[in-house]
Amino acid sequence: METIKEEIQAAGSAEVNDEGTDIELHMKSFSPKGEIGIHHLQKIYESKKSRFEALKNIDLSIGTNEFVTIVGPSGCGKSTLLRIVAGLDELTDGSVTVDGEEVIGPGADRGMVFQGYTLFPWLTVRENIEYGPKLKGIPTLERRSISNYFLKVIKLESFAKAYPKQLSGGMKQRVAIARALANRPKVLLMDEPFGALDAQTKLEMQEMLLEVWEKEKTTVLFITHDIDEAIFLSQRIVVMGSNPGRILKIFDVKLPAQRSPEVREHPEFLALKRELGQLLKHE
Ligand SMILES: Nc1ncnc2c1ncn2[C@@H]1O[C@H](COP(=O)(O)OP(=O)(O)OP(=O)(O)O)[C@@H](O)[C@H]1O
């Protein structure tokens, strides 16, 4: 076992306890940054017959380990913006940077979680989590320590060998989050990840996501239609309007950093909910 311990510690990212039975991954060697810069971004969808300005003059800076949520009416360009930050869509003008480096395509520094369950059905939960690290050529032993760590974080250790079809919707999304995080992204991009879940599961997932975010120190850019969800999760909320897609207003969420379920009754929560509701009603 000593050999395993040495091998993992040499990799600089994990430690084995004294018994050597439980491989525990630590974040020592992991120094996340994840500053996102969106500068004068414009996106035009153009075909022979039509021209549609989906995003106009978007300027937004998101700091390291910040949790920012975008809300706005359907079609205002939220997903387009997120996909451009992910490098999945091309921008027309302006630029997007992560830690000062221009985004020119998808990269392991940005993890993505969508509403649809995008797990590989032919792989087990553990194999899904280990998929990214395996692609990167991370050795089996280290991959195992990564999946052990994230199985614990998402509280699905006993489902390591299960296949996606054996999981509930909430469990699948937990695995999707773990799979994205296993790549050690600096930025987690989430497009309505809890949109398809029932109300109770959604609340549980929100709490779990905040726990994970506090542990992992990743920057999160999150999209939702749900104002309560936006306020509960975020440090800042970006409200977008449509035609063309643009930023209307950015709100600081002045709630305690530690978000317990009771925070939903906080006067600041209720006041912000009213203000956001009013703003979105006119969009
Ligand atoms: N490939 C495309 N070609 C042309 N127009 C597109 C394309 N993709 C998106 N659009 C248009 O761009 C606009 C923004 O779409 P987007 O999906 O980003 O909005 P959204 O705010 O995420 O909407 P929703 O909340 O309904 O998911 C919409 O009007 C959409 O029809």
Closest of 59, 169, 153 to residue 114, by C-alpha: 169
- Nearest residue (by CA) to ligand 1, atom 1, is 45
pLDDT at 264 over 80: yes
Cβ-based burial of 118 (10 A; exposed 0-12, middle 13-18, buried ≥19): middle
- Retrieve residue 112's tokens: 């993505």
Residue among 69, 76, 114 whose CB has most ligand 1 atoms within 8 A, to mutate = 76
Residue among 44, 45, 115 whose CB has most ligand 1 atoms within 8 A, to mutate = 45
* Cβ neighbours, 10 Å, residue 200: 9
Spatial neighbors of 245 by CB under 8 A, at least 6 apart, are 43, 53, 54, 55, 56, 58, 72, 75, 76, 77, 78, 80, 81
**CATH architecture for the domain at 32-120+185-281:** 3-Layer(aba) Sandwich (3.40)
Residue 32 banded pLDDT, cuts 50, 70, 90 = low
- Nearest residue (by CA) to ligand 1, atom 2, is 45
Q: Is 164 in the pocket of ligand 1 (CB under 6 A)?
A: no
Say if strands 67-71 and 236-241 run parallel, antiparallel, or are unpaired.
parallel
Residue 160 banded pLDDT, cuts 50, 70, 90 = very high
Residue-wise pLDDT for 179-218, tens only, equals 999 999 999 999 999 998 889 989 999 999 998 898 888 9
Over range 116-142, report the average pLDDT: 93
The fraction of the chain above a pLDDT of 70, given in percent, is 89
Could you identify the residue written with the tokens 């076992």? 1
Q: Is 74 in the pocket of ligand 1 (CB under 6 A)?
A: yes
Residue 244 near residue 54 (C-beta atoms within 8 A): yes
Helices 2-11, 140-153: crossing angle, 10 deg rounding: 80
Distances (CA, A) of 144 to 71, 216, 254: 37, 18, 40
Report the separation in Å between the CA atom of 49 and the middle of ligand 1, taken as the mean of its atom positions.
17
Cβ-based burial of 165 (10 A; exposed 0-12, middle 13-18, buried ≥19): exposed
Distances (CA, A) of 50 to 84, 146, 231, 242: 21, 48, 37, 17
Q: Which atom of ligand 1 is nearest to the CA of 45?
A: 4
- Nearest residue (by CA) to ligand 1, atom 17, is 79
Say if strands 110-113 and 51-62 run parallel, antiparallel, or are unpaired.
unpaired
Q: What is the pLDDT of residue 217?
A: 85
Looking at every residue in the chain, the average pLDDT score rounds to 87
Range list of H helices, the chain:
2-11, 78-86, 125-135, 140-153, 169-181, 199-216, 227-233, 267-281
Report the separation in Å between the CA atom of 241 and the middle of ligand 1, taken as the mean of its atom positions.
13
* Residue 118 or residue 132, greater confidence: 132
